């Protein structure tokens, strides 16, 4: 199959080539898929995209006209794809659902520890030979209540990790995981009650019509004073203006996030010489109680290997006319 790989990053090409083993004719381009770059797919059977590429209806229609039949995502989240439209126009879409939920869960814990124990600030202080502790006081996680919103692949690993820290773990999900309830004393609560009871909250749901701006002012107000919020899911689940207000008022203790609502076109690029046009992102980054990483939770050696293997598996299935277990169905409603 001829495959155009959009948004190809240097650090993933080697794995993709290794997994491919020369089977498919792959071309790697750094450009993200959008209405302008879609024409680059002329003459290709399939494309591969990443989480910030735009696969909305208008883009899918261009791809279809060009004869592209398959699209495989190198990501777990697929909120950037109009899956329903793809199904309707006969374009098959696959994704990478299980490459390493541990990579994301471990990054979430890393964000929390760095935020709570002020590790970034400590490092900056020490670089200037300032060894005072006055601004470095955090709190014990042991004995605290941690709320996990979304107990799927990533959230369920976080339940186990925080249980091992000695935390009381509560959760919210549209479906319960009885194994976690029985083995980790997990208690499912309505979202507002979870917010009222938790000292730390981790977001681990997909971004869809139900979860878009799920975390907005009323929920922030329901939280305990000083709560820490961790987001390794998708930026659009949190209303950025509201999280900034809650942080500025001091009601929210801190926000550590790997994602940002308007990250498309900014994340995965180096803007150090050009600066940023996004005032909201600047405001967020400049807040002292914010820790933002550039959508890097997936970036582990193991996860990159699995993403590459899954990408080639999806392409192989389609080429060989086999059922692809990672194909997305029309029942999924995405933004």
Please list every residue from 75 through 114 that binds ligand NAD, using CB under 6 A: 76-77, 101, 104
- Our answer to whether residue 263 is catalytic in this structure is yes
Q: Considering the complex, what minimum distance in angstroms separates the CB of residue 297 from ligand NAD?
A: 4
- Beta strands 46-49 and 187-188: pairing type? unpaired
Pick from 205, 227, 257, 311 the residue near ligand NAD by CB under 6 A.
205
27: three-class secondary structure by DSSP = strand
Pick from 94, 110, 147, 206 the residue near ligand NAD by CB under 6 A.
206
Instruction: Name the phi and psi angles at 61, rounded to 5.
Output: -65, -35
Instruction: Name the phi and psi angles at 302, rounded to 5.
Output: -65, -45
Residue from 302, 301, 284 nearest 293 by CA: 284
Binding mask 255-294 for ligand NAD (x = CB under 6 A): ---xx-----------------------------------
Please list every residue from 138 through 197 that binds ligand NAD, using CB under 6 A: 149-155, 172-175
Sign of CA dihedral 274, 12, 86, 89: positive
Please list every residue from 225 through 254 that binds ligand NAD, using CB under 6 A: 232-234
Near ligand NAD by CB under 6 A, which window of 37-45, 133-141, 207-215, 315-323? Answer: 207-215
204 contacts ligand NAD (rule: CB under 6 A): yes
> Residue 165 CB: number of other CB atoms within 10 A?
17
Q: Which is nearer to ligand NAD, 98 or 135 (CB)?
A: 98
- Our answer to whether residue 234 is catalytic in this structure is yes
Half-sphere exposure of 133 (CA within 13 A, CB side): 3
Set 263, 283, 302, 306: catalytic member = 263
298 contacts ligand NAD (rule: CB under 6 A): yes
As a residue count, the chain comes to 335
38: three-class secondary structure by DSSP = helix
The secondary structure of the chain in percent helix, strand, coil, rounded to multiples of 5, reads 40, 15, 45
Enumerate residues 6+ apart whose C-beta is below 8 A from 308. Answer: 12, 15, 16, 18, 19, 20, 74
Set 24, 74, 107, 234: catalytic member = 234
Instruction: Find the radius of gyration of the CA atoms of the chain.
Output: 21
295 contacts ligand NAD (rule: CB under 6 A): yes
Q: Which is nearer to ligand NAD, 135 or 210 (CB)?
A: 210
Which residues are designated catalytic? Answer: 234, 263, 295
Enumerate binding residues for ligand NAD (CB under 6 A): 76-77, 101, 104, 149-155, 172-175, 204-207, 210-211, 232-234, 258-259, 295, 297-298
């Amino acid at each position: 199959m001829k495959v155009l790989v959009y948004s190809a990053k240097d650090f993933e090409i080697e794995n993709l080539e290794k997994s491919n083993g020369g089977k498919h004719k792959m071309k790697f381009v750094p450009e993200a898929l959008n209405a302008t770059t879609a024409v680059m797919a002329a003459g290709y059977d399939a494309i591969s995209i990443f989480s910030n590429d735009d696969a909305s209806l208008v883009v899918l229609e261009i791809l279809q006209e060009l004869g592209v039949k398959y699209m495989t995502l190198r990501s777990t989240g697929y909120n950037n794809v109009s899956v329903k439209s793809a199904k309707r126009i006969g374009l098959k879409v696959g994704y990478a659902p299980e490459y390493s939920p541990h990579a994301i869960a471990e990054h979430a814990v890393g964000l929390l520890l760095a935020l709570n124990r002020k590790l970034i600030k400590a490092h900056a202080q020490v670089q200037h030979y300032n060894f005072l502790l006055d601004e470095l006081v955090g709190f014990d996680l042991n004995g605290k209540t941690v709320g996990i919103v979304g107990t799927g692949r990533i959230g369920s690993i976080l339940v186990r990790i925080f249980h091992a820290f000695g935390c009381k773990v509560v959760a919210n999900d549209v479906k319960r995981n009885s194994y976690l309830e029985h083995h980790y004393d997990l208690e499912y609560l309505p979202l507002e009650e979870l917010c009222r009871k938790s000292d730390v909250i981790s977001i681990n749901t997909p971004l869809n019509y139900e979860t878009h701006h799920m975390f907005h002012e009323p929920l922030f107000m329901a939280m305990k004073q000083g709560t820490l919020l961790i987001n390794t899911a998708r930026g659009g689940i949190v209303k950025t203006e509201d999280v900034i207000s809650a942080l500025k008022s001091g009601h929210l203790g801190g926000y550590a996030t790997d994602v940002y609502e308007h990250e498309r076109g900014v994340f995965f690029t180096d803007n150090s010489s050009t600066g940023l046009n996004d005032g909201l992102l600047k405001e967020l980054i400049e807040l002292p109680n914010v820790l933002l990483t550039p959508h890097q939770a997936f970036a582990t050696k193991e996860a990159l290997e699995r993403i590459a293997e899954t990408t080639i598996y999806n392409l192989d299935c389609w080429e060989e006319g086999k059922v692809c277990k990672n194909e997305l169905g029309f029942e999924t409603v995405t933004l």
